[in-house]
Structure 1
Amino acid sequence: MLKPVKMKEEQYFFSEGKKIHFVGIGGVGMSALAQMARWQGSTVSGSDRFFDRGELLDLKDCLEGEGIIIFPQDGSGISDAALVVSSAAVESDIPDLIEAKRLSIPLMSRGEYLLRLAEGKRTLAVAGTNGKSTTTAILSWILEKCGYDPTFIIGAAIRGERRGWGNGRLGESEWFCFEADESDGILPRYQPSFGIINNISPDHLEIEELREVFSSFAANCREGLVINRDCPESRTLPIENSRIVTFSVESPSICQARSVKISGEKSLFELSGENFIIPLPGRHNLYNGLAAIAAASLTGLSLSRIAEALIDFPGIKRRLEIVHSAPDLIVIDDYSHNPAKITAALAAAHLMGGRITAIYQPHGFGPLRRFHREIAEAFSESILPGDRLFLLPVYYAGGTVQPGYGSEELAGEIRAGGSVMSVSDRAEIFSCIDRRPAGREVILVMGARDPSLSELARNIVARTIFDSE
């Protein structure tokens, strides 16, 4: 077991009783950190524009139930804070941050706080462009089921009854599993015991910068690195680390899945003589599971124990989350927003059979301007004859971003086998989805950042069930 790091003077804010204020606490990563701080004994408060608008009230109630004080985002919660932690999604000119600077209260980013939280722990850091949340959740689940009593921070909530929101856990052991995001500039500074690189593709950063960032991260993994040999960018990444464990389906690797069977419910495969079931749909989740299995094996767990722990993994919220399943209709709530995620989600939906009705909301004008060609190509390849795609207006969360290229322009770029329609609002979608096919239909709601998309998926369920009665 690693010895705990002696608390430095600048780490006083982790001491019990000190107040920490989280700006943007409604974000799934921020809420996990806020709960962790509260469970560790700190006084915790927070603010979020979603709460001010009357949104995400179930999360607000949950945080308050954990003893976290929620303030309006008007600077009123700052005065007695020892530290202010801010989400990268928050603009620098909001009242909370202005007030913190005026009072000379230390400011820290979410990534910096996570970096400090990991000190003195035996860490497993899950990195890569896609699949981080699911892989972190699977790995954390395995460690918990196998008695490792881990601490974990996840960018999504594990389904089922758990303490708090389900996106974090405070364990008493040395093990700490967390999602290591490349978007905030902290990734090269992590020095985890074990690291995972799921895959690499353009998203927050350009590919040249990603290669540099992930190479630095890989070199810093002290006890081992898990890497995907089926990903061209991961496979050719210049890595200075001799302790590498590879996983794959197609390419030869240390952890190569064989006898693979993928359905709309689960993946079955054999690995080194052990049979595995990953109870999640889609080929991409097979890769997420393989990454977690490889990392778990590095901690000393046998493949048989890992396989047993995986059987009842419940999945995580908003990752191909089935909110309704009947013989004639499946409704899915999903976080997909970039080209790779869109392609993976639609491929999984097609495994469930029947016509696909995809509803996609671009999550910002900036990302859409940057990736509209790739997004159009993903839909062109994945919306098959008989399928339907409805494009909602671009989501605007507030701030200084300039509107521009929108959903109508995106619709004009898509050359799909099925129908593509840009709609003006959600009411227009309801009038269209009332026209149901004779066989099974899969309705897939996709998009990031907007918490009301989950509500949309559930409203679709309520509408279709009501109309069928």
Structure 2
Amino acid sequence: DLFQLPRSQRRRHRIHLVGVGGTGLAPIARVLAQLGFRVSGSDREANERTEALQALGVRTFVGHAANQLLDDQPPQRPDLVLISSAVPDDNPEVQQARAWGVPVVKRKEILGPLTAGRDVIAVSGTHGKTTTTALIAHILTRAGRKPGYIIGSEIPELGFSDAGEEPLFVIEADEYDHMFLGLQPWRLIITNLDWDHPDLFPTHASYVDAFARLLAQVRPDGRVIYCRDDRTLREWEREGRLAGGISYGSFRGAFARAENIEMRPEGARYRLVTPTDAYPVQLAIQGLHNVLNSMAALLAVTEAGLSFREAIPHLASYRGAARRFEFKGEAAGVIVIDDYAHHPTEVHSTLQAARAAYPDRAIWAVYQPHTFSRTRTLLDLFNGVFGPADHVIITDIYAAREPIDPDITPELVAAASHHDRALAIHDLDDVTDYLTRNLKPNSLVIILSAGTATRIGPALLQRLQEKPQEKATQSAQRNLTLNTDY
């Protein structure tokens, strides 16, 4: 087992990652390099994650080719090849590795050995994983601890992962491709159980069953931290499946409860009430969903040895993750925000947070539906989702790994939303043109996309800066970072 080797021997062994620039594998690559392995990898194109890995000594290739599996000093085959869920079987590097007899694995197979002997805090749930994981890592590091962590987004000061120097290891436990079933958590957080990834989970029941399997893998000395606001988790509680767990939420009955919740421009604030005490909490991020995420994080770090009084002050310094209500800029009196929301529940939470933070601005929501299967399956859930927005633009569907389905269109999503100002504009450049012509000062544009529509924000800001403005005056830039990971 490579991961049982003493550090002095790990340098002799190399692990190659296919899809190394993605949010799933890049954090693992960094941890592997920090643990002392030689690490290489490839991806279709370079990005900021591959550049960060190169600075750490990870050799990265753009494009895929069989000869990239060989290390040239001296020529040597890798000991292990790790691939992302998006990598097809006919990838030349995968085919070459299998021809050589080199093990080819996915994240599920490597996470168990990678975290063996560690006290794993696994953050699971349909929405809220990234923010909750990041908050836990942020609080612990600010408190002087040195945990390991893997986060699905870039976080200021933290990056996206670290091997850590203590037994504690915090990980964003992704359900896609059953990745999280490679873990044996010491503490398992379940934020909520909505329904997602219908390409892998054809029914809500099959989706929930994956989490039930994860629950069964919690260590004998472990426990569950769960959100009692979620209906399915309340059912599990009544059935006794969460016995010994710690609940949190905004309603009576939870062990930790949020009261007096307020949304202010500087962030959400609330009163955390436990059976023995109450504490004021100030966040720098917005939304009820982030109040709940912060509660999960506080319960996790108190399980790891901090007190509420030690942990709570560090919440105010957490400013959010990349692409989670990320402020991109302001031009001609228009603020542009970029957000990763793509599930209907996430979209609605994002827009609610925006309306609370910017009550006087005209909100333009630009939504890029994510995959044809998800859009088809969740279509009815779009009814009313865009309610907090004044104007809505639906772009072409981002296919990701799926074939195009001509029956699933932006017009279909616009109609399903029942928003009287929902408009379908297929091409992303046409969206930028339309916004440039129609935006007025005191507007807010939110790009809601897990795909390519993220490029609209920078392009729009440039166009607005170039557009002649006769009477418009630019308001002072409000660098308010609102996190809306769910």
TM-score norm. by structure 2 comes to 0.86
**Which residue number corresponds to residue 446 of structure 2?**
444
In 2, the alpha carbon distance for the partners of 1:427 and 1:184 equals 33
Matched position secondary structure for 2:65: coil
**Which residue number corresponds to residue 284 of structure 1?**
289
Deviations 1:138-159 (A, max 9, x none): 0111111112211100011103
1:121-136 correspondence runs (5 A): 121-136=118-133
Contact 2:328/2:337 (<8 A) preserved: yes
Contact 2:372/2:402 (<8 A) preserved: no
Matched position secondary structure for 2:51: helix
Q: CA RMSD in A?
A: 2.5
Matched position secondary structure for 1:76: helix
Matched position secondary structure for 1:311: helix
**For residue 17 of structure 1, what is the amino acid of its counterpart?**
R
How far off is 1:48 after superposition? 1.2
In 2, the alpha carbon distance for the partners of 1:382 and 1:395 equals 19
User: Is the counterpart of residue 149 in structure 1 residue 146 in structure 2?
Assistant: yes
**For residue 19 of structure 1, what is the amino acid of its counterpart?**
R
CA 1:236–1:435: 2 relative to 1, 3 Å: same
User: Is the counterpart of residue 419 in structure 1 residue 421 in structure 2?
Assistant: yes
**Which residue number corresponds to residue 477 of structure 2?**
none
Q: Could you tell me the percent identity over the aligned residues? A: 27
User: Is the counterpart of residue 197 in structure 1 residue 190 in structure 2?
Assistant: yes
In 2, the alpha carbon distance for the partners of 1:273 and 1:412 equals 44
How far off is 1:406 after superposition? 3.2
**Which residue number corresponds to residue 177 of structure 1?**
170
**Which residue number corresponds to residue 340 of structure 1?**
345
In 1, the alpha carbon distance for the partners of 2:305 and 2:216 equals 22
CA 1:122–1:415: 2 relative to 1, 3 Å: closer
**Which residue number corresponds to residue 368 of structure 1?**
375
In 2, the alpha carbon distance for the partners of 1:68 and 1:20 equals 10
**Which residue number corresponds to residue 249 of structure 1?**
250
**Which residue number corresponds to residue 365 of structure 2?**
358
CA 1:146–1:456: 2 relative to 1, 3 Å: same
The ranges of structure 1 where at least 4 consecutive aligned residues each deviate by more than 6 angstroms after the TM superposition are none
How far off is 1:419 after superposition? 1.4
**For residue 128 of structure 1, what is the amino acid of its counterpart?**
G
Deviations 1:95-121 (A, max 9, x none): 121111111110110222222211100
How far off is 1:189 after superposition? 4.7
Mean Cα deviation higher: 347-356 or 455-464: 455-464
**Which residue number corresponds to residue 63 of structure 1?**
53
Give the alignment partner of residue 116 of structure 2, picking from 92, 115, 119: 119
**Which residue number corresponds to residue 475 of structure 2?**
none
How far off is 1:182 after superposition? 1.5
Contact 1:23/1:48 (<8 A) preserved: yes
CA 1:7–1:355: 2 relative to 1, 3 Å: closer
Matched position secondary structure for 2:53: helix
How far off is 1:327 after superposition? 9.7
Contact 1:261/1:269 (<8 A) preserved: yes
**Which residue number corresponds to residue 382 of structure 1?**
386
Contact 1:366/1:401 (<8 A) preserved: no
**Is there any run of 5+ residues in structure 1 with no aligned partner, and where?**
none
In 2, the alpha carbon distance for the partners of 1:207 and 1:404 equals 25
Give the alignment partner of residue 28 of structure 2, picking from 26, 30, 33: 33
Contact 2:12/2:38 (<8 A) preserved: yes
Matched position secondary structure for 2:347: helix
In 1, the alpha carbon distance for the partners of 2:371 and 2:247 equals 35
Give the alignment partner of residue 298 of structure 2, picking from 273, 293, 298: 293
CA 1:247–1:28: 2 relative to 1, 3 Å: same
How far off is 1:436 after superposition? 4.8
Contact 1:21/1:77 (<8 A) preserved: no
Contact 1:84/1:105 (<8 A) preserved: yes
**For residue 97 of structure 2, what is the amino acid of its counterpart?**
A
Higher relative contact order (CA 8 A, sep 6+): 2
How far off is 1:402 after superposition? 4.2
**Which residue number corresponds to residue 268 of structure 1?**
269
User: Is the counterpart of residue 394 in structure 1 residue 368 in structure 2?
Assistant: no
User: Is the counterpart of residue 228 in structure 1 residue 218 in structure 2?
Assistant: no
Give the alignment partner of residue 187 of structure 1, picking from 180, 195, 198: 180
Contact 1:322/1:331 (<8 A) preserved: yes
Mean Cα deviation higher: 347-356 or 137-146: 347-356
**For residue 104 of structure 2, what is the amino acid of its counterpart?**
L
Matched position secondary structure for 1:153: strand
CA 1:229–1:127: 2 relative to 1, 3 Å: same
Contact 1:25/1:46 (<8 A) preserved: yes
Give the alignment partner of residue 44 of structure 1, picking from 39, 43, 58: 39
**Which residue number corresponds to residue 14 of structure 2?**
19
**Is there any run of 5+ residues in structure 2 with no aligned partner, and where?**
71-76, 470-486
Contact 2:331/2:465 (<8 A) preserved: no
How far off is 1:219 after superposition? 3.7
